[in-house]
């Protein structure tokens, strides 16, 4: 079946293409108006598509009255392209063809008007909702967004405050913010500082991705327990991938006068733990692992199994985004993480990104760090303080 499709800016131009290609006896099988891509939807620009054939015969639907020529955007149009029709379109541009153009223009204008009405309706609805929110809550909502609390969480907190607060409290921003601080506190679990065993060495390993501050955190913990708590401390490093990390930890060990072991295999790990078993606390520094590297994660798990670590603290940087923190915590859970250490609080522009992490991983917080100074810039995690840090209070 010889059926062809023609496209032009106007119906007259499309029919002229059909006439030149298929002859004056060709039949129009189908016509429709189409928009020119995405920009056509926005600007209203259209073109006419005509499907015609010289072999297919269809009954004529033209009447003697030119005003009854069907609209070009009607998908059911089927009409013969005879000489009379061609002459009619060519010789009466101000009648039939102009009527087609007017019909198309009117329909496009109607669609644009409907779209504009829809946009205005949505705008009015959003404006009405925003007007219904008291000004003090609106400012509180924007404050939450400013400290990197996700929009969903911010809305949740605002809705809870709006439901629970007394009418007299709705005019006091400080009271409302304190309510949100209490909500955040209730979602934070903490472990307190490390517990030192009196029956042999208590082994605590720090794990996490590269660049989060594991080695510096190990040094802070070792210095505090040795110099301030007078605990016998030993160090083990598995971070043989970075010579600088080994030398950094060795420098701290020499300054504080701590024994230190460097291991690279599970057998060496067992032997190192045995040599340090007479101490009270053994802190283990591990190599940074990408949370996407499943093989390295499993190697780390094997090493921790050989060390028989009593606690495994996941170290994460508070500078990272909420999605990255959640994914990293999920991957490292495979090595048996028992607690969470958050570092670089001083470098983060906001701490609201920590809330989705604390909700998803369910690990209790052990320590917070906010600088590079050893043995300072580290503190045991505490709900009240972290909640206010998140809110910038």
Summarised one tens digit per residue, pLDDT across range 179-236 is 899 999 998 999 989 988 777 889 999 999 988 999 899 999 999 999 998 999 999 9
When the pLDDT of each residue in the chain is averaged and rounded to a whole number, the result is 80
Instruction: Give the pLDDT band (50/70/90) at residue 89.
Output: very low
Strand residue runs (E) in 9-108: 27-35, 46-53, 79-80
The alpha-helical segments, DSSP class H, found in 202-265 are: 214-223, 243-256
Extract the tokens encoding 19: 């006439």
pLDDT at 51: 84
The owner of tokens 């170290």 is 315
Is pLDDT of 90 > 60?
Answer: no
Is pLDDT of 14 > 90?
Answer: no
pLDDT at 224: 93
Is pLDDT of 311 > 60?
Answer: yes
Residue 69 vs residue 60, higher pLDDT: 60
Is pLDDT of 66 > 50?
Answer: no
Q: Mean pLDDT, to the nearest integer, of 293-314?
A: 87
Q: Mean pLDDT, to the nearest integer, of 355-361?
A: 90
Window from 87-91, 172-176, 280-284, 341-345 with minimum mean pLDDT: 87-91
In angstroms, rounded to a whole number, what is the distance separating the alpha carbons of residues 311 and 319? 24
**Backbone angles phi and psi of 111, in degrees to 5:** -65, -40
Q: In 3D, which of 20, 31, 8, 87 has the Cα closest to residue 54?
A: 20
Residue 120 vs residue 164, higher pLDDT: 164
Is pLDDT of 70 > 70?
Answer: no
Instruction: Give the pLDDT band (50/70/90) at residue 271.
Output: very high
In contact, 227 and 251? CB cutoff 8 Å: no
pLDDT at 102: 67
pLDDT at 375: 87
pLDDT digit string, tens, across residues 109-137: 777 776 776 666 665 554 444 446 778 88
Is pLDDT of 335 > 80?
Answer: yes
Q: Mean pLDDT, to the nearest integer, of 84-98?
A: 49
Rounded percentage of the chain residues whose pLDDT exceeds 70: 78
Residue 209 vs residue 96, higher pLDDT: 209
pLDDT at 40: 52
């Amino acid at each position: 079946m010889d059926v062809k499709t023609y496209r032009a800016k106007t119906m007259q131009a499309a029919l002229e293409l059909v006439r030149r290609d298929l002859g004056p006896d060709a039949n129009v099988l189908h016509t429709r108006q189409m928009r020119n891509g995405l920009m056509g939807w926005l600007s209203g620009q259209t073109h006419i598509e005509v499907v015609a054939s010289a072999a297919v015969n269809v009954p004529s639907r033209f009447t003697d009255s030119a005003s009854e020529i069907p609209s070009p955007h009607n998908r059911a149009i089927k009409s013969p392209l005879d000489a009379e029709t061609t002459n009619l379109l060519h010789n009466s541009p101000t009648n039939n063809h102009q009527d087609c153009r007017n019909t198309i223009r009117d329909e496009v204008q109607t669609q644009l008007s409907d779209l504009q009405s829809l946009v205005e309706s949505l705008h009015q609805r959003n404006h009405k909702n925003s007007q219904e929110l008291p000004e003090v809550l609106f400012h509180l909502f924007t404050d939450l967004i400013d400290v990197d609390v996700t929009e969903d969480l911010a809305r949740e907190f605002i809705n809870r405050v709006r439901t629970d607060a007394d009418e007299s409290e709705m005019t006091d921003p400080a009271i409302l913010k304190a309510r949100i601080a209490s909500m955040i506190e209730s979602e934070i679990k903490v472990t307190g500082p490390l517990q030192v065993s009196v029956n042999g060495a208590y082994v605590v390993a720090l794990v996490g991705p590269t660049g989060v501050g594991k080695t510096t955190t190990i040094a802070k913990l070792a210095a505090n327990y040795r110099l301030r708590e007078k605990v016998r401390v030993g160090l083990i490093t598995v971070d043989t991938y970075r010579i600088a990390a080994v030398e950094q930890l060795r420098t701290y060990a020499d300054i504080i006068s701590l024994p230190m072991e460097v291991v690279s295999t599970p057998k060496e790990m067992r032997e190192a733990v045995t040599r340090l078993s007479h101490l009270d606390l053994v802190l283990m520094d591990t190599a940074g692992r990408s949370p996407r590297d499943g093989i390295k994660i499993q190697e780390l798990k094997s090493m921790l199994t050989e060390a028989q670590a009593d606690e495994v603290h996941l170290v994460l940087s508070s500078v990272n985004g909420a999605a990255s923190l959640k994914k990293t915590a999920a991957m490292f859970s495979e090595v048996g993480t028992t607690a969470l250490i958050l570092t670089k609080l001083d470098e983060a522009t906001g701490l609201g990104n920590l809330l989705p992490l604390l909700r998803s991983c369910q690990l209790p917080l052990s320590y917070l760090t906010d600088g590079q100074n050893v043995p300072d810039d580290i503190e045991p995690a505490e709900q009240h303080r972290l909640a206010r840090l998140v809110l910038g209070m």
